[in-house]
Amino acid sequence: MLKSVYQLICYTLPLLVFFSSSGESRPHVAHQGTPDAARTASQRVLLLEAVKIGILSSLGMDMEPRPTQKASEQELSRMYQLYRETLREMRGNSSHLLKETRQSTMTTVLFPATVEPVKVLQPGERPQALQHMQWYRAVFNKNINIKMELTLARAELKISRHILNKPTSVQSEVNVNVNGAKLMNSAARTHLDSLVHGSVSGTQDVMLDISPEVEKWMRTDGQSLVVDVGLAMADTDAIKSNPTISLELGLTQPKPAQRTRRSNAEGDCEERGWCCQKSITVSFKDIGWTDWVVAPSEYTMHFCEGTCPHNYKPASMHTQVKSRMHQITKGGTPHPCCVPAAYEPMVLMHYDSRGKLKLTPFNDLIVSKCHCA
């Protein structure tokens, strides 16, 4: 019996390769780029198809669900909060991964270079009689603490607004666009009471997880992160001043000695075709699943690929004996294979076959380390 989603994907992939390489189903790529480029593109298509089949199978679904009714804003907000809590708990329970990779964690808070009121027209936006949406643009620049070798563990946008001490009605709604794109989890904006009447004074805070957007920004070279924040207020005079916007980042960094050895080993395995951890970005938008997969919008799938020479990344003494037996019998016994050694968790927020919004945790989908076994 298959034990993990990763095993389902690996089991499905050879079948897809077999059927795609026979008969009419083989894609015709002649005269379009180099053979290697065409082969890589074909492998990506097959791998993504295997991912789709593997995830559906692990969810107990024969086909993609087609929800006829989406969850309410209140339900989305509740589920996003539960989504973040579940993911944070799963990552906390994976402390053994931190011991294996010997990573250190640091936290840094970024403040925007500028925060200015702007006019942002949303698609299909209509003026409402009792509500005014005031937009502010915050521009973040990278500082010396953000380096290419750092890995983002979390990124939370904090929005604080000061309210005058006067009778007012405050509509606690916050819309967020990051680099021109609407935040996928903007439904998680209502961390406050939806409507507050009476005399309101002090500061109201909203925390939003924008890890996917910040992760993309960290991979860019010298570009700014532009965050548009829209605040809905029934009484525009109730806003005391521009909101305070900050970005809290949790970053992980391997120890220098470990990082050097790792980079050299990975370079050798790539050049020699040995067992390596490789990556591919899986976008649920690209595979047409945004109608039923709510979060994350995409994830980086790591997989293990390559040959296993004798005494290379052995998982155990049994692996070394297995490799030696393969040599002695001249291929008469199986050789060690490149397989996952550790995983990192992922949580999928999605609609099920009944149209109900739910969370499904995966402890064995994203590979974090490979070895030969």
Lowest-pLDDT choice from 38-52, 112-126, 156-170, 274-288: 156-170
Q: At what angle do helices 5-20 and 35-58 cross, to 10 degrees?
A: 130
DSSP state of 9: H
The pLDDT assigned to 127 comes to 52
The pLDDT assigned to 119 comes to 79
Judged on CB neighbours under 10 Å (0-12, 13-18, 19+), 329 is: exposed
At residue 325, the 3 state secondary structure works out as: helix
> Cα(348)–Cα(288) distance, rounded to whole angstroms?
15
Return the CATH superfamily for domain 65-102+255-373.
Cystine-knot cytokines (2.10.90.10)
Q: Domain segments of the chain: what residues?
A: 1-63, 65-102+255-373, 104-253
The pLDDT assigned to 105 comes to 64
The pLDDT assigned to 17 comes to 44
> Cα(52)–Cα(104) distance, rounded to whole angstroms?
34
The pLDDT assigned to 253 comes to 66
Largest CA distance in the chain: 86
> Cα(111)–Cα(248) distance, rounded to whole angstroms?
9
pLDDT single digits (tens) 303-326: 898 999 888 888 888 888 888 888
> Cα(164)–Cα(30) distance, rounded to whole angstroms?
68
Query: Can you tell me the mean pLDDT for 219-227?
Result: 85
Assign 226 a pLDDT band (cuts: 50, 70, 90): very high
Which residue carries 């998680």 as its tokens? 188
Q: Which class does domain 104-253 fall in?
A: mainly beta
> Cα(206)–Cα(208) distance, rounded to whole angstroms?
7
The pLDDT assigned to 130 comes to 39
The pLDDT assigned to 289 comes to 92
Judged on CB neighbours under 10 Å (0-12, 13-18, 19+), 252 is: middle
Count of CB atoms within 10 A of residue 323's CB?
20
Q: Characterize 235-249 residue by residue with b for buried, 16 or more Cβ atoms within 10 angstroms of its Cβ, and e for exposed.
A: beebbeebbbbebeb
The pLDDT assigned to 183 comes to 60
The pLDDT assigned to 273 comes to 86
- List, as one string, the DSSP characters of 56-77: HHHTT-SS----SSPPPHHHHH
> Cα(95)–Cα(105) distance, rounded to whole angstroms?
12
* Cβ 32 vs Cβ 23: under 8 Å: no
Is the confidence at residue 372, as pLDDT, over 90? yes
The pLDDT assigned to 358 comes to 92
> Cα(162)–Cα(309) distance, rounded to whole angstroms?
63
Cis peptide bond prior to 212, omega within 30° of 0: no
> Cα(248)–Cα(109) distance, rounded to whole angstroms?
4
pLDDT single digits (tens) 256-292: 544 444 444 555 677 788 998 888 888 888 888 989 9
Strand partners, 166: 200
Same fold, 65-102+255-373 and 104-253: no
Numbers of helices and strands, H then E, in the chain? 7, 14
Mean pLDDT of the chain: 74
pLDDT single digits (tens) 317-367: 888 888 888 888 888 899 999 999 988 888 999 999 888 999 999 888 888
